[in-house]
Amino acid sequence: MRDSLLAAGASGPLSLPPHLLAALVPLLVLVVALDVYCLIDLARAPAMRWGVPKFVWVIVILFISAPIGALAYLFLGRDRSRHPPAPAVPASPALPASPPGQAGQPVLGPAAADGLPVVTTTGLTRDYGGTGLFDVDLLVPAGSVYGLAGPNGAGKTTLLSILAGVRRADRGTVNLAISRRRIAVCPDVPEFDGWLTACEVVDLARSLMGQAPDESAVTASLATAGLADMAAKRVGGFSRGMIQRLGLACALAGDPELLILDEPTSALDPAGRAELLGLVAAMRGRRTVIFSSHILADVQRVADQVGILRGGRLLYQGQTRDLIDTYLKPSWLVRIAGDAGPVAAAMSGEPWVTRVEPAGSDVLRVDATSLAAGERGIPAVIAACGARQVSCEPAAADLESAFLALTGAPAGA
């Protein structure tokens, strides 16, 4: 047999059986793919173990017997433990200080200086067969926190998608006072490749936005979103709330002038919601923020401007306090230590009081013409009477009550 094989080799090239070739082709493709992956990973790696230059590993991957060179790089080459040092997280949710062009600096442009709205829409309509948006005229002042409120299915995500440029309107116009390159969007359910670390995700987001590599900017964005300690962790093990924070970090990494957040608190626990809402409130005057939520208490907590959507139509937009003043009779429950009669008599004579009635032995219900009048007047009257105030609590003077009054929904809706 040996002689026959030698004779075959002498007479021409040795041919392999077809079934052996079919088995070798996938193996060859796998080896090539492994080499390509290692080269890409090598290019993106921040550092090598033991300070070995990258070109040495290129030679190892390409010229050492495959796949031994690639496997040697994966197990011995990259120093995956190195990542930007985590800065001290501030006790308050204020934005961290950073050089110009990085997350946290005032970035409002000429529109804010001129008092112009950042976003204006006229007759914006997107019809999905009876649902969607219909004739929405939106006006978002520069530097404001604009809360877009409404029940699920009201059209909030559709409106934000059109503003972000990822959906088209059937008719109507969208006018922006800034470049679209200055807009960042964080969807309600961000998705990232699970094998990347949080640091790599933000760095990739910056590169896709044309930003130069900057470890300090990546670190600042992660710290702002509350992920400073998770920079080197792979995102495949993140909870939904952490993914939501990572999406915010990616949005802030581009230093946007207009930040669009779709249901940013939907996956967060109460403590996480409070922290993120504090972060959003701290952006007022530094950026323009539009965020949607069906949790009206969140909108009232941070938004100075509010838009109410229902059934795809914008029922109201303006200042949050004006909405409450317009659709509610501001009312307070005032508890007095001792006899409440003299206080009730004094309240009745005030021009801003519309009604005073007892709500208990030592409790008065006081209705006022406006929130501002009641907040200023009630303490003044009690002090003038020499009475001791135990408590003074608003009675249904909140955004949820105003929303129900505006939309005509029942109290249990």
Q: Can you give the pLDDT of all 413 residues of the chain as single tens digits? A: 445 444 444 444 556 677 666 777 777 878 888 888 888 877 777 667 766 777 777 777 787 777 787 778 777 776 554 433 433 333 333 333 333 333 334 344 444 444 579 999 999 999 998 888 999 999 999 999 999 988 888 899 999 999 998 899 999 999 999 988 899 998 888 889 899 999 999 999 988 888 888 888 898 889 888 888 988 999 998 988 888 889 999 998 888 999 999 988 877 788 878 888 888 888 888 899 999 988 888 888 889 999 999 899 999 998 887 887 777 777 888 999 888 889 999 999 999 998 898 888 889 999 888 878 888 999 999 999 998 888 888 776 667 777 777 776 554 44
- The reported pTM is 0.61
Residue 99 covered by a domain = no
Residues 221 and 133 in one domain: yes
Question: Among 352, 362, 354, which residue's Cα sits nearest to residue 391?
Answer: 362
Residue 346 to residue 385: CA distance in whole angstroms: 8
Looking at residue 265, its pLDDT comes to: 82
- Domain assignment present for 305: yes
pLDDT of residue 85: 40
User: How far apart (Å, rounded) are the C-alpha atoms in residues 43 and 390?
Assistant: 67
Domain boundary among 275, 299, 323: 323
Q: What pLDDT does 411 receive?
A: 46
Q: Which residue has the tokens 């996480």?
A: 272
Do 246 and 162 sit in the same domain of this protein?
Answer: yes
Residue 101 belongs to a domain:
no
Buried residues in 18-47 as b, exposed as e (16+ CB within 10 A): eeeeeeeeeeeeeeeebbeebeebbeebee
Question: Which pair of tokens denotes residue 29?
Answer: 């493709």
Residues 153 and 288 in one domain: yes
**Which residue do the tokens 């997107």 mark?**
126
Per-residue model confidence (pLDDT) at position 55: 76
Q: Looking at the structure, do residues 263 and 341 belong to the same domain, yes or no? A: no
Give me the phi and psi of 376, to 5 degrees please.
Answer: -85, -40
CATH of the domain at 223: 3.40.50.300
Residues 122 and 221 in one domain: yes
Give me 336's structure tokens.
């007095």
Q: How much is the pLDDT for 25?
A: 77
Same-domain check for residues 114 and 46? no
Q: How many CB atoms lie within 10 A of CB 116?
A: 13
Say whether both 292 and 341 belong to one domain. Answer: no
End-to-end CA gap in the chain:
88
- How large is the angle between the packed helices 270-282 and 240-253, nearest 10 degrees? 10
Predicted local distance difference test score (pLDDT) of residue 96: 34
3-class DSSP state of 128: coil
How many domains does the chain fold into?
3
Q: Is residue 180 part of a domain?
A: yes
